[in-house]
Amino acid sequence: MFLSWLLLSVLGLVQHSVAKIYDDVSDLPGFEYDFVIVGAGAAGNVVANRLTENANFSVLVLEAGVSNEGIIDSSVPFLVENLLSGPASYEWNYTTTPQVGLNNRVVPYPRGDTRNYSMHGTLRRSYQLTFWAAVLHTVSSHPNITFSVNYAMLDGMVYTRGSAEDFDRYAANEKWTPPADNHDTRGEFNPAVHSTDGINSVSLSGFQWPIFQEHVIQATRELPDEFPFNLDFNSGEPLGVGWLQSTIGGGERSSSATSYLAPKFIQRQNLHVLLHAQVSRLVDPQSNAGGVAFGGVEFSQGGSLFTAKPTKEIILSAGSVGTPIILMNSGVGNKTALTALGITSVLDLPSVGQNATEQPGINAGWSVNSMQTVDEITQNATLFNEAFAQWNATHTGPFVNIPVTHIAWTRLDADSPIFQHVMDPSAGPKTPHIEVFVGTGGFAAGATGNFMSAGITVLTPTSRGSVSLQSNNPFDPPLIDLGLLTTDFDLFTAREAIKKAYRFVQAPVWKDYIIAPTIDLLNMTTDALDEFIRNNAGPVGHLVSTAAMSAKDASYGVVNPDLLVKGASGLSIIDASILPFVTSAHTQAAAYVVGERGADLVKQRWK
Ligand SMILES: *[C@@H]1O[C@H](CO)[C@@H](O)[C@H](O)[C@H]1NC(C)=O
Ligand SMILES: *[C@@H]1O[C@H](CO)[C@@H](O)[C@H](O)[C@H]1NC(C)=O
Ligand SMILES: *[C@@H]1O[C@H](CO)[C@@H](O)[C@H](O)[C@H]1NC(C)=O
Ligand SMILES: *[C@@H]1O[C@H](CO)[C@@H](O)[C@H](O)[C@H]1NC(C)=O
Ligand SMILES: *[C@@H]1O[C@H](CO)[C@@H](O)[C@H](O)[C@H]1NC(C)=O
Ligand SMILES: *[C@@H]1O[C@H](CO)[C@@H](O)[C@H](O)[C@H]1NC(C)=O
Ligand SMILES: *[C@@H]1O[C@H](CO)[C@@H](O)[C@H](O)[C@H]1NC(C)=O
Ligand SMILES: *[C@@H]1O[C@H](CO)[C@@H](O)[C@H](O)[C@H]1NC(C)=O
Ligand SMILES: *[C@@H]1O[C@H](CO)[C@@H](O)[C@H](O)[C@H]1NC(C)=O
């Protein structure tokens, strides 16, 4: 649901070629299109790009976001998303319901978009609670700089594909349909190496922190059993410690907006994007042989409602929160629950919004005996401004990256006691349960001066939550219950993950580098550590499964393996909400994969 400022400012420079991005519905040439795509996020923009490769297809993308030329910071990787300072903020202002597993805390749940909400106070708070805050607090600590993270789609630009086993599991459990021509799809889902001629840029870091980096690599030599060096964790076999890869090109964020909707694509005559268009529901349901077909997509702009008319398909790409709430507002969901809210049930699909899966994250920090940390820059306005000026002038320097250098992917010990009563939820033995993301600074409670930080994530949570409606008003915020840390497995794994991070920094090489942990999480009873986790963990923003794919004959699920909604026709879902399990990774890469695969499926249907 995100259209980056960068795109808009780039387009601003090319003036009239931007004609295909409309701000005002009255400028839209018409309301009838072959395909109406809801949401300009990672997957939605991929689908828009791929479908309009066929000049015979007309495509309208409806995006709730606004344009705001002149805000350049979103393209500076270090600033992640500097969209929340000032009068406007650019996300949905969602909070969770009280989270039982987090000692009943209500936590902000930022979902990136570009609507003009003003609430940066809430966002600031959220960063204290989330994994991202963990690593990037330095950014929000700069008085005028906070960052919005498009959690659904673009997050911190970290590009991690997950394990081959993750993708094999989707295929095995969900009977992902082979393409009609039965061509070999290896390589479409798990490109073993990197393509150099794709659309979205992925790169290694463009700024070095030599002392820190050498320590990390040396630690992999000293602890080769637990933390082996992995040359490329995007090979399908992620276990070990590898160099960060990010969706960054030429020192700038590469998002689906800057890549798949780059000027050369947006100029296509058959592609229109309408901004400030918040979709409320699908309307005009009719029963036909294939199931319920909706005749229109209702959206609001400037307080008025309009209806776009798809002649072939509606494609929901509104993300793991937006997609299920649009379905439910359209009468697609649990009939009992919708009826109780006064929404006419159109299609009884109780799995809509259920099985919501999010990864819990927590952070740790250590004060260090080195001046080569990002705190040197972020805690010194002169250096901060210099770094920004350098980025601005040459797209080089420390701002070309987030301040993270490596990721360690690791598993629970095979003989962990938890496995005596819980089945291993990972996709297989080559798939991590735990991520430890290390960098030269960032947030760590109580830290001042120079420090290193670790973002620690439970990748394979067994807790499940839900996204539901609180009323029949489609503009009311939804109820988001992430169910974080509500299972023994997740709490156990969070504890083990912290211990793993501490074991990594116990490699001899760190001895003279690390002074002390900012909070000594090892020197705690299990009860105290659990309490610390419950009071400090937060969602990392990798929500999936709220419109999950399942086998065609399954008794649950929302879409079939062809991504068409069960019991409907002309309605598909192409975003991370269809993933039946979360990847043991960040979800950005998976969202692109879903977009590419989904676009192929749509093209096959309509060729
Ligand atoms: C577009 O439509 C024309 C006319 O119906 C047809 O000849 C052509 O093959 C179509 N192009 C594609 C890519 O389907
Ligand atoms: C955000 O809203 C404020 C006040 O409502 C308005 O002045 C400002 O122009 C809006 N910003 C954007 C980017 O639409
Ligand atoms: C954002 O959420 C907070 C707390 O949930 C609420 O007080 C505030 O009014 C909301 N702001 C907007 C613009 O919706
Ligand atoms: C922060 O922004 C305010 C208002 O734009 C400005 O007056 C102030 O100088 C800025 N502070 C810094 C440290 O840039
Ligand atoms: C549907 O919702 C009702 C009311 O919330 C609930 O009791 C019921 O279990 C749900 N049905 C299914 C199949 O999940
Ligand atoms: C949640 O997913 C599991 C499979 O992982 C399935 O058995 C269950 O029926 C699903 N629940 C709903 C409400 O869809
Ligand atoms: C900030 O950095 C500049 C340039 O290195 C240095 O002269 C200044 O003393 C630093 N300020 C503080 C408060 O450390
Ligand atoms: C960024 O560069 C532009 C010219 O490309 C210049 O006008 C502007 O002042 C620069 N801003 C900073 C903070 O260096
Ligand atoms: C644990 O904490 C106690 C009390 O604060 C302290 O005396 C002791 O040195 C700590 N032990 C370690 C291993 O840090």
What token pair was written down for 7? Answer: 């795109």
Tens of pLDDT, residues 228-264: 999 888 888 899 999 888 888 888 878 888 888 888 9
Ligand 6 lined by 351 (C-beta under 6 Å): yes
Ligand 1 lined by 54 (C-beta under 6 Å): yes
Question: Among residues 355, 350, 456, which one has the least CA distance to residue 407?
Answer: 456
Is 279 annotated for ligand binding? yes
- Ligand 1 mean position to 56 CA, how many Å? 6
Tens of pLDDT, residues 383-434: 888 988 898 898 888 888 888 889 999 999 999 999 999 999 999 999 999 9
Question: Buried b vs exposed e over 477-511: b needs ≥16 C-beta within 10 Å?
Answer: bbbbbbbbbbbebbbbbbbbbbebbbbbbebebbe
Average pLDDT over residues 444-470: 89
Q: Quick one: how far is CA 504 from the chain centroid? A: 27
- Ligand 4 mean position to 252 CA, how many Å? 24
Q: Which of 366, 506, 520, 532 to mutate to test the pocket of ligand 9 (most atoms within 8 A of CB)?
A: 520
Check residue 8 and give its pLDDT: 27
Q: Are the CB atoms for 540 and 360 separated by under 8 Å?
A: yes
* Atom 6 of ligand 6: nearest residue by CA position: 556
Ligand nearest to the CA of 85: 4
Specify the 3-state DSSP secondary structure of 15. helix
pTM, full prediction: 0.84
**Spatial distance between the Cα atoms of 489 and 458, rounded to a whole number of angstroms:** 10
Ligand 2 lined by 117 (C-beta under 6 Å): no
Q: Which of 328, 332, 334 to mutate to test the pocket of ligand 5 (most atoms within 8 A of CB)?
A: 334
Q: If you search the block for the tokens 């960054």, which residue do you land on? A: 248
Ligand 8 lined by 392 (C-beta under 6 Å): yes
**Spatial distance between the Cα atoms of 435 and 170, rounded to a whole number of angstroms:** 21
Ligand 8 lined by 13 (C-beta under 6 Å): no
Counting atoms of ligand 6 from 1, which one is nearest the CA of 554? 9
**Least-confidence region, from 282-296, 326-340, 445-459, 511-525:** 445-459
Residue 180 pLDDT greater than 70, yes or no: no
Burial tier of 520 (Cβ tally within 10 Å: 0-12, 13-18, 19+):
exposed
Ligand 3 lined by 128 (C-beta under 6 Å): no
Check residue 76 and give its pLDDT: 62
**Spatial distance between the Cα atoms of 464 and 4, rounded to a whole number of angstroms:** 31
Burial tier of 533 (Cβ tally within 10 Å: 0-12, 13-18, 19+):
buried
Known catalytic residues are 542, 586
Average pLDDT of every residue of the chain: 81
* Atom 2 of ligand 5: nearest residue by CA position: 337
- Ligand 1 mean position to 53 CA, how many Å? 12
Check residue 156 and give its pLDDT: 58
Check residue 161 and give its pLDDT: 61
Question: Among residues 139, 141, 150, which one has the least CA distance to residue 89?
Answer: 150
Is 122 annotated for ligand binding? yes
- Ligand 7 mean position to 542 CA, how many Å? 38
Residue 188 pLDDT greater than 50, yes or no: no
* Atom 12 of ligand 8: nearest residue by CA position: 389
Ligand nearest to the CA of 52: 1
**Spatial distance between the Cα atoms of 397 and 392, rounded to a whole number of angstroms:** 10
Tens of pLDDT, residues 101-111: 999 999 888 76
H or E element: which one contains 491? Answer: helix 488-504
- Ligand 3 mean position to 34 CA, how many Å? 37
Ligand nearest to the CA of 90: 2
